[in-house]
Structures are given as C-alpha cells and as structure tokens.
Amino acid sequence: MAVEPATRLVRPLQIGKHAIWPPVVLAPMSGVTNRTMRALYKPFGFGLTVTEFVSSNALQYQSQRTMEMIDQHGLEQPVSTQLWGNDPAIMALAARTVRECGADIVDINFGCPAPKVTKTAGGSACLRDVDRCEAIMRAVLDAVDCPVTIKMRLGWTEHDLVYLEVARRAEAVGISAITLHARTAKQFYRGTADWSHIAALKRAVSIPIIGNGDLHDAPTALARMQESGVDGVMIGRAVLGNPWIASDLHALLEGRIPAGYPAPAVRLRYALHHYETMVSELGETRAVPQMRKHLGYYLKGFPGASELRERLMRTLTAAETMGLVQATIDRLS
Ligand SMILES: Cc1cc2nc3c(=O)[nH]c(=O)nc-3n(C[C@H](O)[C@H](O)[C@H](O)COP(=O)(O)O)c2cc1C
C-alpha cells in the first residue's frame, strides 16, 4: 500500500493543555467503553478515550454503578468523561463531581438519539433548543477548571441542521473542541455519515474539530481526515473486535506501513486476554454476558466462526468459554 507522509499534514489534537497524539479518539459507547476496555484499547493507538455517557441526574445519587462509570484505570489518561442531561445547574454539579473524580476533560453529549435519553430532552434533543445548549455549555464551563468539549449530531432532523449555530456559540463561550457525528438524530444509524458537513464545520470555526461517523478502516479514516481538514477522528463501531484499526491509523499518520488486520489466531489470543482481564476486573457474573458480544466481534470472518459464535453464546462459565476459544486457537495455529 502506498503510504502518504502524513506526519507533515497532521498535528497533535490540542484540547486545552492536552496535546493528543495520535489524534484518534475511541468513541464513547454505552455498555462498551468501560474503564477496562478503555485501558485495554488505548495502547493500540488511541490518543484519547471517552467514558460511556453518564446521566447528570444519576450522578446526584452517586450509586456504585454510576461512580464506577466515571472511575479510571490510571492507564488511560487523558480521559474525557461524558455527561448528558438537560438542566444547566444539574449538568454543572455533575461536571464538578466528575472533575473531582479525575476527569481531564468534560464532554457534553448533544448527540444521543436513544428515546430513553431524548424523552427527557437530553442528548440530541438538546439540539432542538440552541439557547439551552448554550446555557448548558456556559454552566459546565463555569463549574470546572479543565477543558470542556461537546459531541453532537447535525441537528434533530434534516430540516433543522443547527450544528453550525451550536458550534459558533460553543466557540464563543469557550468550548475547547467539538466532535460531530455527521447524521441527524432522526437518522439514528440509517444512511451514511455526511462528511461534507464535517468539512463545513471545520471551515466555520477555529476550535479543534473531531470528525465521526462510518470510519470503517484506517485508510478511510486517513482519507476523511485529509479531505475534511479535521484535527482528529473518532472511531466507534469499527473498533469493536478490531482495536488494530487504531494501530493501523497510527502507523499511517506517522508514515509507517500498517500491519493490517491480524490472523484469526492472533485475534483470538487477544480476545482471550480481553476476556481474562474483564473477568478479573468485573467478576465472572458481569463479565461473561458482556464478553459474549465482544467475542462475537473478534470472531469475524474465518472458517467455522459462525458455528463457534453460536456455541459461545450458550456457554455459562468463563472457564467453558475460554476452553472453547483456546481449542479454536490451537486448531487455527
Ligand atoms: C453501542 C453504542 C453505544 C454508544 N454510546 C454512546 C455514548 O454513550 N455517548 C455518545 O456520545 N455516543 C455514543 N455512541 C455513538 C458513538 O460514539 C459514535 O458517535 C457513533 O457510533 C458513530 O461512529 P461510528 O460510525 O464510528 O460507530 C454509541 C454507539 C454505539 C454503537
């Protein structure tokens, strides 16, 4: 593969005092990017990781589960902690709490389209009221002494694309960076992310822009970065079972030859490591169901993978699952 000398084109992603290299962000994914996952995947080539979104209302009660969501490993710094909510005062309190718990950056979610979030006017529903977005940004900025960023979609529907207006206000009030997932809220995940809007956003404001949406592989991510001129990219679904996408992009950004998607046995060996780490950190009862979906992702595209996936879905204990994966590794090796 021809390698562009991309180091000349791309600089570290600057968020406040944090110079982030490579400028590649592991997307926040609820139910996925817990602290174990962030610590495991960061060394592959993510300059920044983001927690799962945390409800600002829930943070007031400081339940064990909520506090665990904002907890850190110590290996994954800098960490951006993402909050969602609709009330500026509650968002400010939540921001103060997560900052006290070690967040290096506070990220505000103006992008989640899930009904359980938008029915309380949070997430992407905030985009229906740009004044409210501004009030939330101001309140959070006043509450903390670290950089504050936002992550948003284009707008609620294709008829009210408010992202440029929100971005201009974000820049004016002192937001340090903006991530744009280039779909509307009503699109959910339908259609494709329209990167022309990301390029338009980059031209419209001078704070760092992180482009997000449908980056399926490292060459595509590099191409979108160069075409749109963004300061960084965020990758979500393509990372599942494939953290090597980050090492490949890191290599491309530094003008090195990417190693590519590893052989099945290598992937499964890493999957076992992921599994064992999750069991040791979360305990078997919680890790086993969570790891079913991850194993499914690691098992993409090799002979016998679908049969193995089905068998793994039925396992009940970690020992049983790990035995099956190990037997497959032995067969593949
Ligand atoms: C399972 C899952 C959970 C997600 N949870 C969050 C979240 O907590 N906060 C957020 O801002 N976005 C969340 N997202 C959206 C992703 O961060 C990202 O914006 C989106 O998947 C588009 O990027 P991609 O095409 O690279 O996946 C989630 C996405 C998925 C698939």
**Distance of alpha carbon 297 from its chain centroid, rounded?**
17
The one-character DSSP state at 30 is T
Paired with 181 in beta bridges are: 153, 212
Q: Per-residue confidence at 9, pLDDT binned at 50, 70, 90?
A: low
Tokens of 308: 């193995």
Strand 18-20 relative to strand 13-15, pairing: antiparallel
Q: pLDDT (tens digit, 9 = 90+) per residue, 261-312?
A: 999 999 999 999 999 999 999 999 999 888 988 999 999 888 888 899 899 8
- Residue with CA nearest ligand 1 atom 31: 237
Question: 237 CB less than 6 Å from ligand 1?
Answer: yes
Residue 126 annotated as catalytic:
no
Q: What are phi and psi of 24, to 5 degrees?
A: -125, 125
Nearest residue (CA) to ligand 1, atom 26: 236
State which amino acid sits at residue 224: R
Mean pLDDT of the chain: 94
Whole-prediction pTM value? Answer: 0.95
Q: Looking at the predicted structure, is the pLDDT value of residue 221 above 80? A: yes
Cα–Cα dist 251/6, whole Å: 10
Q: How many other CB atoms are there within 10 angstroms of residue 84's CB atom?
A: 29
DSSP-assigned states of every residue in 87-154: -HHHHHHHHHHHHHTT-SEEEEEE----HHHHTTT-GGGGGG-HHHHHHHHHHHHHH-SS-EEEEEES
- In whole angstroms, give the CA distance from residue 213 to residue 211: 7
Residue 193 CB contacts under 8 Å (≥ 6 apart), including other chains: 181, 182, 183, 212, 213, 214
Task: Give the nearest ligand 1 atom to 235 CA.
Answer: 26
Supply 125's token pair: 């529903």
Q: What is the pLDDT of residues 100-118, one digit of tens each?
A: 999 999 999 999 999 999 9
**3 three-class SS:** coil
Instruction: Please give the distance of CA 61 from its chain centroid, rounded to a whole number.
Output: 25
Measured distance CA(240)–CA(290) in Å, rounded: 13
Q: Per residue in 72-87, pLDDT tens?
A: 888 888 999 999 999 9
**Shortest-distance Cα residue to atom 30 of ligand 1:** 29
| Predicted confidence (pLDDT) at residue 7 exceeds the cutoff of 80 | no
Atom of ligand 1 nearest to the CA of 181: 19
Q: Is the dihedral of CA 272, 276, 282, 285 positive or negative?
A: positive
Instruction: Compute, in angstroms, the gap from residue 52 CA to the centroid of ligand 1.
Output: 9
